[in-house]
């Protein structure tokens, strides 16, 4: 039955298309976009199928590569959390790739074939990271995805290669720290399989190399997740990369890293085990809290929309990591739900900024004016939806992840983090309503925009509008029907909840 093959089929699809696109692209350059859509579409289809299959049967699929059973062989573990994550990232990637058609023509016309090839490779890496049940194999996929994203970011404006180089240096350090941690654990336990290692760790937990490994892994993954203060690479990379690259990497990349943190902290070690040794969850909670506020304040200070969104990402990733640090069911639900919500919101916002760059040639907030509401009514409506969701007003999706996170902080009596969530919502309101004001209202100081009746509709085309509309409607639906999603998240809890 094909259901049990799905964990392998998803990455294989991406490998296949990563080879097909350059081969066919040499012969027929025009159809690389369609090919990439086909690839990510198939992967999304498999993810959705697998997810539904998993919900129905409720059984985790453990796929042994080559039939070798772990700990000798490498396995993919397709449990609820992995299935959810894979579905989210592949769907977002599919939608972003649809949107990229027009942008690729303008922003990197000669580099379409490499762009789509690398995008396939990057998605291979991300899916592999999510699915694998082996710590070293995870590192391999981490490097595949990282190297591809360095290349994707470098496809951008003149400053992009430098930003990408900076990311490469910092990212490689992060990856190496993680690998070092894995090495330490291997010397103590003699296994690389996550499930296997989880069973062995209680016996060796007092060992100093286990503690060292834990710190190294959290810091290493923290770099990839842009956990404050390890976020330095992120703002420039997201800002200077082409709009299609940043829309692809921003909603997915840091989430996958946060997912690894889930696996390491909650599944590999387990909360009780680590907090006996080191107050890890408290520490990452503090950094997440600072990061949330820092990211929001920096976002307010930006005048370039993409950079604002980048800092906002630093802040939002803090929510997810805060959810992990709370280490209780509500925090877990909030964090997992926020992975979905933020992926939708941030992808949508980056797509809007990409659309504006295509039409206006810039995305400088200071130059926004109220002609936009006539020129791009639907784009702006989508933006408004995402903005309100980011602020966290019901019934849009953003409210509910914050609600569960807030319940999580209350359960731990952690009033400081509760205050952080609330304050950051207000800061979000500041930087989003600033844009909404500019787009929807006359500037009282500027009479030239007084008469908007003559402005023609200049809305973006279907390939750009469709993904944005899907995401905006998605935000509303996820919000209204979040109870169904949360009931699924209930089945994903790590042991001990």
Encode burial over 267-281: b for 16+ CB neighbours within 10 A, e otherwise: bbbbbebbeeeeebb
Select from 96, 429, 460, 464 the one that contacts other proteins (CB under 8 A): 429
Q: Which residue has the tokens 């990856």?
A: 175
Which residues in the 99-158 window bind other proteins by CB under 8 A? none
Question: Which of 318/334 has CB closer to other proteins?
Answer: 334
List the one residue out of 145, 122, 113, 135 whose CA is nearest residue 33: 113
Most distant pair of Cα atoms in the chain: their distance: 75
Q: Does 162 bind other proteins (CB under 8 A)?
A: no
Select from 245, 254, 316, 482 the one that contacts other proteins (CB under 8 A): 482
Minimum distance between the CB of residue 336 and other proteins, rounded to whole angstroms? 14
Whole-number Å distance between alpha carbons of 238 and 246: 5
Question: Which of 50/331 has CB closer to other proteins?
Answer: 331
Encode burial over 225-252: b for 16+ CB neighbours within 10 A, e otherwise: bbbbebbebbbbbbbbbbbbbbbbbbbb
Select from 59, 157, 437, 446 the one that contacts other proteins (CB under 8 A): 437
Minimum distance between the CB of residue 333 and other proteins, rounded to whole angstroms? 9
CA–CA distances in Å: residue 474 to residues 59, 104, 214, 471, 482 = 27, 25, 37, 5, 11
Q: Does 272 bind other proteins (CB under 8 A)?
A: no
3-state secondary structure 58-107: CCCEEEEHHHCCCCCCCEEEECHHHHHHHHHHHHHHHHHHHHHHHHHHHH
Select from 286, 410, 469, 476 the one that contacts other proteins (CB under 8 A): 410
Question: Which of 5/443 has CB closer to other proteins?
Answer: 443
Question: Which of 53/373 has CB closer to other proteins?
Answer: 373
Asked if the bond preceding 119 is cis, omega within 30° of 0, the reply is: no
- Applying CB under 8 A, which part among 14-22, 89-97, 162-170, 434-442 lies near other proteins? 434-442
Select from 59, 157, 276, 411 the one that contacts other proteins (CB under 8 A): 411
Question: Which of 290/486 has CB closer to other proteins?
Answer: 486
Question: Which of 286/418 has CB closer to other proteins?
Answer: 418
**Beta bridge partner(s), residue 99:** none
User: DSSP letter at 71?
Assistant: T
Q: What are phi and psi of 79, to 5 degrees?
A: -100, -175
Q: Does 404 bind other proteins (CB under 8 A)?
A: yes
User: DSSP letter at 490?
Assistant: G
Which residues in the 440-459 window bind other proteins by CB under 8 A? 440-442, 444-445
- Would you call 61 helix, strand, or coil by DSSP? strand
User: DSSP letter at 459?
Assistant: -
Whole-number Å distance between alpha carbons of 41 and 36: 8
**Binding mask 346-385 vs other proteins (x if CB under 8 A, - otherwise)?**
----------------------------------------
- Would you call 193 helix, strand, or coil by DSSP? strand
Structure-token pair, residue 372: 């936009």
Q: Does 406 bind other proteins (CB under 8 A)?
A: yes
Q: Residues 284, 321: contact at Cβ < 8 Å?
A: yes
**Using alpha carbons only, what angle is made at residue 460 by residues 459 and 463, rounded to the nearest 5 degrees?**
145
Q: Does 319 bind other proteins (CB under 8 A)?
A: no
Q: Does 401 bind other proteins (CB under 8 A)?
A: no
Question: Which of 128/318 has CB closer to other proteins?
Answer: 318
Select from 68, 462, 481, 497 the one that contacts other proteins (CB under 8 A): 481
- The Cβ of residue 470 has, within 10 Å, a number of other Cβ atoms equal to 17
Question: Which of 132/389 has CB closer to other proteins?
Answer: 389
Q: Does 418 bind other proteins (CB under 8 A)?
A: yes
Q: Does 407 bind other proteins (CB under 8 A)?
A: yes
Q: Does 84 bind other proteins (CB under 8 A)?
A: no
**Count of residues engaged in binding other proteins, rule: CB under 8 A:** 33
Minimum distance between the CB of residue 94 and other proteins, rounded to whole angstroms? 28
Question: Which of 137/296 has CB closer to other proteins?
Answer: 296
Whole-number Å distance between alpha carbons of 129 and 346: 21
The site for other proteins (CB under 8 A) is made up of 388, 391, 393-395, 399-400, 402-404, 406-407, 410-411, 418, 422, 425-426, 429, 433, 437, 440-442, 444-445, 480-483, 486-487, 490
């Amino acid at each position: 039955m094909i259901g049990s093959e799905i964990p392998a089929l998803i990455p294989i699809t991406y490998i296949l298309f990563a080879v097909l696109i350059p081969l066919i692209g040499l012969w027929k350059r025009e159809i690389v976009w369609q090919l990439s859509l086909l690839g990510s579409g198939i992967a999304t289809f498999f993810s959705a199928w697998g997810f539904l299959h998993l919900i129905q049967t409720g059984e985790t699929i453990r796929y042994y590569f080559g039939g070798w059973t772990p700990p000798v062989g490498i396995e993919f573990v397709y449990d609820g959390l992995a299935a959810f994550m894979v579905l989210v990232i592949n769907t977002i990637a599919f939608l972003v790739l649809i949107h990229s058609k027009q942008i690729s023509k303008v922003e990197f016309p000669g580099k379409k074939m490499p762009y789509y090839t690398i995008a396939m490779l990057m998605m291979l890496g991300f899916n592999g990271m999510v699915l694998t049940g082996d710590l070293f194999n995870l590192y391999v996929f981490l490097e595949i995805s990282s190297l591809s994203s360095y290349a994707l970011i470098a496809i951008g404006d003149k400053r992009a290669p430098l930003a990408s180089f900076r990311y490469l240096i910092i990212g490689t350090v992060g990856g190496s720290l993680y690998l070092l941690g894995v090495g330490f654990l291997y010397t103590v336990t003699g296994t690389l399989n996550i499930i296997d290692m989880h069973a062995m760790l209680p016996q060796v937990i007092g060992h100093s190399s286990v503690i060292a490994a834990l710190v190294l892994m959290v810091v290493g993954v923290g770099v990839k997740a842009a956990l404050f203060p390890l976020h330095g690479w992120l703002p420039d990379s997201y800002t200077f990369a082409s709009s299609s690259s940043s829309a692809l990497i921003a909603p997915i990349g840091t989430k996958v890293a946060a997912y690894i943190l889930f696996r390491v902290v909650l599944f590999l070690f387990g909360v009780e085990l680590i907090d006996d040794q080191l107050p890890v969850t408290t520490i990452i909670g503090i950094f997440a809290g600072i990061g949330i506020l820092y990211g929001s304040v920096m976002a307010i200070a930006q005048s370039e929309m993409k950079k604002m969104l980048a800092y906002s990402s630093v802040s939002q990733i803090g929510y997810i990591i805060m959810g992990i640090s709370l280490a209780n069911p509500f925090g877990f639900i909030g964090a997992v739900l926020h992975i979905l919500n933020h992926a939708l919101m941030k992808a949508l916002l980056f797509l809007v900024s990409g659309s504006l760059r295509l039409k206006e040639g810039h995305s400088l907030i200071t130059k926004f004016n109220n002609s936009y509401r006539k020129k791009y009514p639907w784009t702006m409506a989508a933006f408004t939806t995402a903005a309100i969701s980011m602020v966290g007003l019901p019934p849009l999706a953003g409210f509910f992840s914050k609600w569960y996170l807030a319940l999580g902080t209350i359960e731990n009596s952690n009033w400081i983090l509760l205050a952080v969530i609330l304050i950051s919502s207000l800061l979000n309101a500041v930087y989003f309503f600033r844009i909404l004001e500019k787009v929807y209202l006359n500037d009282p100081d500027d009479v030239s925009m007084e008469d908007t009746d003559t402005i023609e509709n200049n809305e973006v085309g279907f390939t750009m509008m469709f993904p944005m509309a899907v995401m905006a409607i998605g935000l509303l639906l996820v919000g209204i029907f979040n109870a169904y999603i949360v009931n699924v998240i209930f089945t994903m809890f790590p042991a001990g909840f």
